[in-house]
Amino acid sequence: VSADAASLRNIPSVDEVLKTPVASASVERFGRTSVVKAVRAALSETRSSMRGTTAVAAEAAAIAERALTQLELQSRPKVRAVFNLSGTVLHTNLGRAQLAEAAVEAATAAMREAIALEFDIGEGKRGERDELIRELLCELTGAEAATVVNNNAAAVLLVLNTLAKGRESIVSRGELIEIGGAFRMPEIMSRAGTKLIEVGTTNRTHEKDYVGAIGPKTGLILKVHTSNYRIEGFTKEVKADKLAAIARKHKVPLFNDLGSGVLVDLEKYGLSHEQTVAEAVAEGADIVTFSGDKLLGGPQAGFIVGSKELIAKINRNPMKRALRVDKIRLAALEATLQLYRDPDRLTTTLPTLRFLARKKAEIESAAKRLVPAVAKAVGPAFEVAVAACASQVGSGSLPQETVPSAGIAIRATNGRSSGRAIAALSSSFRALPVPVIGRIEEQTLVFDLRCLEREDEFVRNLALLNPAEKR
Ligand X SMILES: *Cc1c(COP(=O)(O)O)cnc(C)c1O
**Could you tell me which stretch among 58-66, 137-145, 222-230, 336-344 binds ligand X (CB under 6 A)?**
222-230
**Could you tell me which stretch among 17-25, 149-157, 235-243, 419-427 binds ligand X (CB under 6 A)?**
149-157
Burial class (CB in 10 A: 0-12, 13-18, 19+), 296: buried
For position 320 contacting ligand X by CB under 6 A, the verdict is no
**Could you tell me which stretch among 146-154, 411-419, 420-428, 458-466 binds ligand X (CB under 6 A)?**
146-154
Closest separation between CB of residue 460 and ligand X, Å?
34
Closest separation between CB of residue 97 and ligand X, Å?
11
Q: Which is nearer to ligand X, 187 or 309 (CB)?
A: 187
Q: Which is nearer to ligand X, 132 or 296 (CB)?
A: 296
Closest separation between CB of residue 85 and ligand X, Å?
23
**Could you tell me which stretch among 127-135, 151-159, 310-318, 385-393 binds ligand X (CB under 6 A)?**
151-159
- Number of other residues whose CB lies within 10 A of the CB of residue 283: 19
Q: Which is nearer to ligand X, 147 or 418 (CB)?
A: 147
CA distance 336 to 343: 12
Closest separation between CB of residue 348 and ligand X, Å?
25
Closest separation between CB of residue 178 and ligand X, Å?
10
Q: Which is nearer to ligand X, 219 or 302 (CB)?
A: 302
Q: Which of 67, 224, 240, 266 binds ligand X (CB under 6 A)?
A: 224
For position 179 contacting ligand X by CB under 6 A, the verdict is yes
The dihedral of CA 438, 439, 440, 441: what is its sign? negative
Closest separation between CB of residue 427 and ligand X, Å?
29
For position 175 contacting ligand X by CB under 6 A, the verdict is no
Cβ proximity of 250 and 283 under 8 Å? no
Q: Which of 70, 151, 169, 218 binds ligand X (CB under 6 A)?
A: 151
- Interior/surface letters 96-125, b for 16+ CB within 10 angstroms, e for the rest: bbbbbebbeebbeebeeeebeeeeeeeeee
For position 86 contacting ligand X by CB under 6 A, the verdict is no
Closest separation between CB of residue 401 and ligand X, Å?
15
For position 153 contacting ligand X by CB under 6 A, the verdict is yes
CA distance 451 to 187: 35
Q: Which is nearer to ligand X, 257 or 448 (CB)?
A: 257
For position 152 contacting ligand X by CB under 6 A, the verdict is yes
| Closest residue by beta carbon to ligand X | 259
**Could you tell me which stretch among 135-143, 219-227, 315-323, 372-380 binds ligand X (CB under 6 A)?**
219-227
> 363 - beta bridge partners?
none
Closest separation between CB of residue 86 and ligand X, Å?
18
Closest separation between CB of residue 194 and ligand X, Å?
16
Q: Which is nearer to ligand X, 294 or 358 (CB)?
A: 294
Q: Which is nearer to ligand X, 179 or 262 (CB)?
A: 179
Residues in the interface with ligand X (CB under 6 A) total 15
The β-bridge relationship of strands 254-259 and 287-291 is: parallel
User: What does the per-residue mask of binding to ligand X show for 225-264, with x meaning CB under 6 A?
Assistant: x-x-----------------------------x-xx----
For position 218 contacting ligand X by CB under 6 A, the verdict is no
Q: Which is nearer to ligand X, 260 or 347 (CB)?
A: 260
How far is residue 185 CA from its own chain's centroid?
Answer: 20
User: What does the per-residue mask of binding to ligand X show for 377-396, with x meaning CB under 6 A?
Assistant: -------------------x
User: What does the per-residue mask of binding to ligand X show for 291-310, with x meaning CB under 6 A?
Assistant: x----------x--------
Shortest CA distance to 263 belongs to which of 90, 134, 137? 137
Q: Which is nearer to ligand X, 130 or 364 (CB)?
A: 130
How far is residue 62 CA from its own chain's centroid?
Answer: 42
For position 156 contacting ligand X by CB under 6 A, the verdict is yes
Closest separation between CB of residue 239 and ligand X, Å?
16
Footprint of ligand X (CB under 6 A): 151-153, 156, 179, 183, 224-225, 227, 257, 259-260, 291, 302, 396
